[in-house]
């Protein structure tokens, strides 16, 4: 589903060039659950943003289902984000002035779904994350775990086949983090491709595969079941380099 | 995305920031109030002037002694003292200039009018019976001056409404004798209340026959001749013929004709300049208001970078984001326009109540135009902030920088 070939993302800052990604090569199959780990600044978010069509590679190829995404126009990219990709962020990014159900409705507004159908679908999605009774609440009236579940309902409302989560449990306690991960796991089992950036070996363990990044490169690939603790991952990663 | 969704989304954002939204409206509100009240005053003044001259009668021309330029303010007296205007001149005009329907020879002086202990200094107008018709004067009591009294000059008077009230109180003045200067005249009529009218305060005037007026002043000359044109006559042609006739009779051109049309025209052009000034004020104040809206929208966009990033991540196109912020600016300016229209209309209504003589009211076209203009201003000045929002890099925007 996702093919990355010699992918670079370079930031030019004055005289200096900073390679957030350098020559990333990776293939992720449809329906895979992949975790991305690595120290802070290693390029995990940059990789996820490029896969999510929020950012474009400086160099290299990104094929989504065989077609080159890098060559697409802004509007076409927006449409890919709208229909094929669901984003989940560490800091939830709910619109504070809108209620839970209105936040979930937002992507459908951009897709031009009729208001009646929109409300119905949004309420269904809220029910699926167990938050029906919270539909009229503003984000400020919700706990972190509830906010992230609403964000997940919003990310899935247009029926995307690719879910991208950037440290989805980073701001949550372990109990609500567990609920969020269970929800993501369920969405994966329903057939969606799932990419999760995380620092937490417990999160990574749930994935089929773990990509370990360092300095903009994928330095190691391990099975999720093999992840024990962080230190071991990076020691071996550096050793392999 | 339907337009109702756009409007709802934009108005929710404005409501969340209602304090700032309200502040950003002030400029628009002030601009619109200024335009509404100034156009109301301008239109009111124009209507006032038109009404004044309409009540003087259309197709009226005044002949006054002295040659001067066409606007007729200051007789220059080029060839020394001009010849007198006489009753014969008036008769000649009426007989020989076919464009003229009626010629009213008039004297205008001031004198003390008294009855018993009460006395008052008033304008004494010598006129003929035709004067009432030309000026559309109505009588509260009695009748106007007698007809066909050009030579004899009966000792009668018609009192203006206020004069009658002051000299006689609630008594009926008809048949009583009043003194005008040294002369005694019998009251034969009282005019209906008329109010102030440009040129003549009818209520504070005493009318007497022209011949009587000349006798009182011990003169054979008139102060002016009031002419009424035939209904279809061309005023310019009529004036030229009158001037030609009087030039022939006086052996020199020594009179001036003032047409009401010309006076209305020149006042009208002054008021048109005023309208231009209003338009200028409108343009300047709305430009200022527009810059205010632009600043507020720029702040809004930079505050809501994360939201813009989110909208992009969720799949909003650049056009949709542009439209959302453009709509916010448009709604702001529309709200300001409507609020300003409301307050301006209120201010005009208060002004109207305070100055009863002039009726002022903002014309409907101005109300519609100014609200539209405010809306257009908001959209025009909202383009830059909205465009900036739509061009934000989603990754940077989501990180809040
Ligand atoms: N907009 C940017 N301008 C310059 N450098 C950036 C920018 N965004 C990210 N970087 C740099 O790119 C590298 C990778 O960043 P990121 O992908 O966010 O790391 P991670 O998510 O793994 O912590 C970091 O060194 C970061 O400082
Ligand atoms: Mg990151």
* pLDDT over 90, % of chain B: 49
pLDDT in the model for residue B72: 43
Whether residue B271 sits in one domain with residue B216: no
Q: Does A79 touch chain B (CB under 8 A)?
A: yes
Residues in B closer than 8 angstroms to A77, CB to CB, are: none
Residue B74 above 60 pLDDT? no
B7 within 8 A of B232, measured Cβ to Cβ: no
What domain range is B305 assigned to?
Answer: 3-52+265-398
DSSP 8-state code for residue A133: G
Three-class SS state of B185: strand
Between β-strands B118-127 and B205-209, what pairing exists: parallel, antiparallel or unpaired?
parallel
**pLDDT-derived band of residue B234, with 50, 70 and 90 as boundaries?**
confident
* pLDDT over 90, % of chain A: 87
Whether residue B168 sits in one domain with residue B289: no
Residue B272 above 90 pLDDT? no
Average of per-residue pLDDT across B284-307: 91
Token pair recorded at residue A92: 């939830």
Exposed/middle/buried for residue B274 (C-beta within 10 Å: 0-12, 13-18, 19+): middle
Distance CA B294, CA B386 (A): 9
pLDDT in the model for residue A231: 64
Q: Do A110 and B13 touch (CB under 8 A)?
A: no
**Which ligand approaches the C-alpha of residue A213 most closely?**
1
Whether residue B210 sits in one domain with residue B127: yes
Token pair recorded at residue A16: 């200096």
Which residue do the tokens 């503003």 mark? A138
User: Of A184 and B71, which is predicted with more confidence?
Assistant: A184
Alpha helix (H) ranges present in B233-363? 235-250, 260-303, 305-314, 318-354
| pLDDT, tens digit (0-9, with 9 covering 90-100), for A144-160 | 999 999 999 999 999 99
Residue A240 above 60 pLDDT? no
Distance CA B66, CA B35 (A): 43
* pLDDT over 70, % of chain A: 95
CA-to-CA separations, A145 to A124, A128, A190, in angstroms, rounded:
19, 15, 22
pLDDT in the model for residue B60: 85
Distance CA B23, CA B4 (A): 25
Average of per-residue pLDDT across B201-220: 90
Average of per-residue pLDDT across B77-92: 77
Which range has highest mean pLDDT (A154-158, B27-31, B350-354, B396-400)? A154-158
Query: Separation of B325 CA from ligand 2 center, angstroms?
Result: 29
Choosing among B313, B322, B395, which should be mutated to test the A contact, i.e. which has the most A CBs within 10 A?
B313
Q: Do B2 and A154 touch (CB under 8 A)?
A: no
Q: What is the mean pLDDT of chain B?
A: 86
Residue A238 above 60 pLDDT? no
pLDDT in the model for residue A237: 46
Residue B46 above 90 pLDDT? no
User: A2-227 sits in which CATH class?
Assistant: alpha beta
Burial B377-399 (b: 16+ CB within 10 A, else e): bbbbbbbebbebbbebebbebbe
Tell whether B106 is covered by a domain: yes
Query: Would you say the CB of residue B393 lies under 6 angstroms from ligand 1?
Result: no
pTM (2 d.p.): 0.73
| Residues in contact with A60: Cβ distance below 8 Å, sequence separation at least 6, in sequence order | A4, A5, A6, A7, A8, A23, A24, A70
A110 within 8 A of B317, measured Cβ to Cβ: yes
Query: Would you say the CB of residue A37 lies under 6 angstroms from ligand 1?
Result: no
Q: Which of B181, B203, B227 is the last residue of a domain?
A: B227
> What length is written for chain B?
401
Number of domains in chain B: 2
Average of per-residue pLDDT across A92-115: 94
């Amino acid at each position: 589903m996702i093919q990355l070939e010699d992918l670079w993302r370079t930031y030019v800052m004055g005289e200096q060039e900073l390679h957030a990604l350098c020559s990333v090569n990776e293939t992720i199959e449809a329906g895979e659950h992949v975790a991305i780990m690595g120290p802070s600044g290693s390029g995990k978010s940059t990789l996820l943003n490029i896969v999510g069509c929020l950012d474009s590679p400086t160099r290299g190829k990104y094929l989504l289902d065989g077609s080159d995404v890098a060559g697409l126009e802004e509007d076409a990219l927006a449409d890919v984000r709208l229909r094929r990709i669901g984003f989940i962020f560490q800091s939830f990014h709910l619109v504070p002035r809108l209620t839970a159900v209105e936040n979930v409705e937002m992507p459908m507004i951009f897709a031009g779904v009729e208001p009646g159908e929109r409300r119905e679908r949004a309420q269904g999605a809220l029910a699926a994350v167990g938050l029906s009774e919270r539909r009229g609440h503003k984000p400020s009236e919700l706990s972190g775990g509830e906010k992230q579940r609403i964000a997940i309902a919003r990310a899935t409302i247009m029926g995307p086949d690719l879910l991208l989560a950037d440290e989805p449990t980073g701001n949550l306690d372990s109990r609500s983090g567990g609920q969020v991960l269970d929800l993501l796991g369920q969405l994966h089992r329903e057939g969606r491709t799932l990419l999760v950036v995380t620092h937490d070996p417990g999160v990574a363990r749930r994935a089929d595969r773990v990509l370990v990044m360092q300095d903009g490169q994928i330095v190691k690939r391990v099975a999720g079941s093999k992840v024990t603790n962080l230190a071991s991952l990076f020691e071996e990663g550096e050793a392999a380099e | 995305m339907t337009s109702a969704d756009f409007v709802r989304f934009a108005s929710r954002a404005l409501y969340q920031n209602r304090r700032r939204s309200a502040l950003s409206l002030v400029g628009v509100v002030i601009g619109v109030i200024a335009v509404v009240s100034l156009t109301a005053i301008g239109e009111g003044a124009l209507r006032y002037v038109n009404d004044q001259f309409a009540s003087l009668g259309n197709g009226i021309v005044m002949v006054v002694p002295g040659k001067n330029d066409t606007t007729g303010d200051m007789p220059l007296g080029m060839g020394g003292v001009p010849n007198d205007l006489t009753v014969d001149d008036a008769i000649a005009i009426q007989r020989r200039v076919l464009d003229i329907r009626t010629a009213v020879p008039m004297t205008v002086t001031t004198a003390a009018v008294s009855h018993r202990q009460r006395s008052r200094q008033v304008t004494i107008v010598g006129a003929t019976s035709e004067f009432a018709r030309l000026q559309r004067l109505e009588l509260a009591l009695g009748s106007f001056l007698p007809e066909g009294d050009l030579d004899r000059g009966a000792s009668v008077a018609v009192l203006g409404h206020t004069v009658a009230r002051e000299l006689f109180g609630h008594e009926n003045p008809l048949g009583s004798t009043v003194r005008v200067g040294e002369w005694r005249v019998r009251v034969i009529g009282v005019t209906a209340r008329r109010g102030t009218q440009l040129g003549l305060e009818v209520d504070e005037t005493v009318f007497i026959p022209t011949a009587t007026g000349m006798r009182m002043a011990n003169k054979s000359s008139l102060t002016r001749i009031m002419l009424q044109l035939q209904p279809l006559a061309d005023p310019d042609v009529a004036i030229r013929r009158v001037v030609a006739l009087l030039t022939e009779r006086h052996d020199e051109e020594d009179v001036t004709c003032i047409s009401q049309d010309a006076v209305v025209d020149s006042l009208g052009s002054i008021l048109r300049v005023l309208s231009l000034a209003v338009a200028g004020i409108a343009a300047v104040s709305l430009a200022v208001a527009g810059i205010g809206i632009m600043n507020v929208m720029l702040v809004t966009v930079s505050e809501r970078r994360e939201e813009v990033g989110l909208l992009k991540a969720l799949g909003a196109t650049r056009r949709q984001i542009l439209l959302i912020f453009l709509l916010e600016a448009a709604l702001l300016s529309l709200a300001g326009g409507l609020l300003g229209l409301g307050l301006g209309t209120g201010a005009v209504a208060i002004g109207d109540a305070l100055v009863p003589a002039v009726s002022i009211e903002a014309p409907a076209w101005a109300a519609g135009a100014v609200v539209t203009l405010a809306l257009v201003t908001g959209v025009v000045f909202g383009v830059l902030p909205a465009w900036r929002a739509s061009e934000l890099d989603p990754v940077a925007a989501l990180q809040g920088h």
